[in-house]
Amino acid sequence: MKREIVKALREAGEGYVSGSALCERLGVSRQAVWKCISGLKEDGYQIESVSGKGYRLKKGRDRLYGPDILSRLPEDCLCRKVQCFEEIDSTNTRMKQLAELGEEQGSLLVSERQTAGRGRRGRTWRSEAESGIYMTLLLRPELPPAKVPAITLLAALALTKAIQEVCGVEAQIKWPNDVVIAKKKICGILTEMSSEENYVHYVAVGIGINVNTESFPEELCDRATSIRIQTGKKTNRNELAAAVIKHLCADYERFEMEQDFSVFVPEYNRVLANCDQQVKVYYGTVDDAKEENIDIGIARGIDRDGALLVELDTGVKKIVSGEVSVRGMYGYL
Ligand code: BTN
């Protein structure tokens, strides 16, 4: 019911929605509406109540809020449960614990900040309070484990679509799954899987987005940015989180049904940064890499397995993600 009331209030914009209109829309008593509004206020959701007029949303702090995110998702979206936290160690860590206890597919954890945010390859993920989105979606795909890495590519694609839709700015993908604007990273994805030889127990898709961050420490400035820095505007984080989940769930369901990534290849290649440009492929560490551990070629896009095709003097090489890093000739991109 919270989800429906939030939706009605949002749709009214700056106007009021009367208690009786809410009763009619939801088919419940006035008391039930009042109780639900009180619950929303207790959660910290900013609602103004004026007798004779009704209720309206106060313009206030932009807080991540489960019913708000849920109210923006299509009715048939596979994400049906959203839990928001003020602080958590890591949404991925917590989701993996819940998954082991039987949490259902489509459950989403979101946090205002993380005290132990994790990145790929054991790195930490800077999770500044109240300006980013840190969230993890739980999936239980009926797919062979070898096909699961494609879900990370779908998440990157969902991020570019959502950022275009909500923020009006074009983001690109740095293969395999960094999302960038103006050659700097704005999102990271950490996908963690629990599986047996031929069976996937669960997949936790963790997404971190630098949304309204105003500045970065000096050591990150040359490769990290935020949507706010790039557009000069603040983004409603509930709206952006919902748009990402909407696209990710829709594309994931299609992928699971077709068991084939081919249909997404043209879309992915359209937003692939470095496509048709010279790149360096590092087999191992990027810093202090020896010449024999580097290939230089032209990136030609991904294939149906999500591998990057790089044209070398010796022919086209299929680069599979893992311990490989691909960089532009003169830097990160
Ligand atoms: C990367 O290294 O690029 C991946 C970063 C992934 C960060 C997100 S934030 C939400 C989720 N929880 C985590 O601890 N990590 C992921």
Query: Could you report the per-residue pLDDT of 7-65, keeping only the tens digit for each?
Result: 888 888 778 888 888 888 888 888 888 888 888 887 777 888 888 888 888 776 678 99
Nearest protein CA to atom 16 of ligand 1, as residue: 206
pLDDT category at 283 given cuts 50, 70, 90 is: confident
CB atoms within 10 A of CB 144: 13
Predicted confidence at residue 19, as pLDDT, reads: 80
Predicted confidence at residue 260, as pLDDT, reads: 94
Q: Which residues contact 242 (CB under 8 A, 6 or more apart)?
A: 68, 69, 70, 72, 73
The minimum-distance atom of ligand 1 relative to the CA of 119 is 2
Q: Ligand 1: does its nearest atom lie under 6 Å from the Cβ of 119?
A: yes
Predicted confidence at residue 323, as pLDDT, reads: 67
CB atoms within 10 A of CB 109: 26
**Whole-angstrom Cα distance, residue 78 to residue 253?**
8
The minimum-distance atom of ligand 1 relative to the CA of 188 is 3
Residue, of 33 and 263, whose pLDDT is higher: 263
Predicted confidence at residue 82, as pLDDT, reads: 96
Compute the Cα dihedral for 19, 24, 26, 27 and give only its sign.
Answer: positive
| CB-based contact 301:309 (threshold 8 Å) | yes
Residue carrying the six token digits 């963690």:
192
Predicted confidence at residue 55, as pLDDT, reads: 85
pLDDT digits (tens, 9 = 90+) for 200-240: 999 999 999 999 999 888 888 888 999 999 999 999 999 99
H or E element in which residue 137 lies: strand 132-139
140-167 average pLDDT score: 96
Predicted confidence at residue 294, as pLDDT, reads: 85
Residue 186 has which token pair? 């704005």
User: To the nearest whole percent, how much of the chain has pLDDT over 70?
Assistant: 98
pLDDT category at 164 given cuts 50, 70, 90 is: very high
Helix (H, G, I), strand (E, B) or coil at 148: coil
Predicted confidence at residue 177, as pLDDT, reads: 85
**Whole-angstrom Cα distance, residue 10 to residue 47?**
11
**Whole-angstrom Cα distance, residue 237 to residue 125?**
18
The minimum-distance atom of ligand 1 relative to the CA of 127 is 9
Q: Ligand 1: does its nearest atom lie under 6 Å from the Cβ of 206?
A: yes
User: To the nearest whole percent, how much of the chain has pLDDT over 90?
Assistant: 62
310-315 average pLDDT score: 92
Predicted confidence at residue 128, as pLDDT, reads: 82
**Whole-angstrom Cα distance, residue 36 to residue 59?**
20
Ligand 1: centre distance to CA 118 (Å): 5
Q: How far from the centroid of its chain's Cα atoms is residue 130's Cα? A: 16
310-322 average pLDDT score: 89
Ligand 1: centre distance to CA 301 (Å): 25
Pocket test for ligand 1, best of 87, 179, 190 (most atoms within 8 A of CB): 190
**Whole-angstrom Cα distance, residue 305 to residue 298?**
19
pLDDT digits (tens, 9 = 90+) for 67-114: 999 999 999 999 999 999 999 999 999 999 999 999 999 999 999 999
Predicted confidence at residue 195, as pLDDT, reads: 96
Closest CA to 283 of 308, 307, 257, 319: 319
Return mean pLDDT, the chain: 90
Q: Find out whether the peptide bond into 149 is cis, omega within 30 degrees of 0.
A: no
Q: Ligand 1: does its nearest atom lie under 6 Å from the Cβ of 91?
A: yes
**Whole-angstrom Cα distance, residue 285 to residue 288?**
7
